[in-house]
Structure formats: structure tokens, C-alpha cells
Amino acid sequence: MAVTFYDLNSASGLKKLDDYLLTRSYITGYLASKDDI
């Protein structure tokens, strides 16, 4: 199941994505996928 990030055009949206990626290498799973593009 993919995680959804909204409003990546705003500072707060990018902050949420950045915070999520602090403890993960990829958006979903353990390998690069279409979600990471």
C-alpha cells in the first residue's frame, strides 16, 4: 500500500515528506519503485 503525500508544492507538504524519509530509503518497500520517481 502506497503512502500518499499531498501538497508537495508547499513547504509544509515537503516537510512531511522529508520527515517520512528520515527513517526510510524509499517511499514504499525496500527497493526503488514507481512511487520513488
- Please, what sign has the CA dihedral across residues 22, 36, 29, 7? positive
Q: pTM of this prediction?
A: 0.65
Q: How many CA atoms lie within 13 A of 32 on its CB side?
A: 2
pLDDT tens for the chain, 37 residues: list them: 667 888 999 999 999 989 988 988 888 778 887 877 7
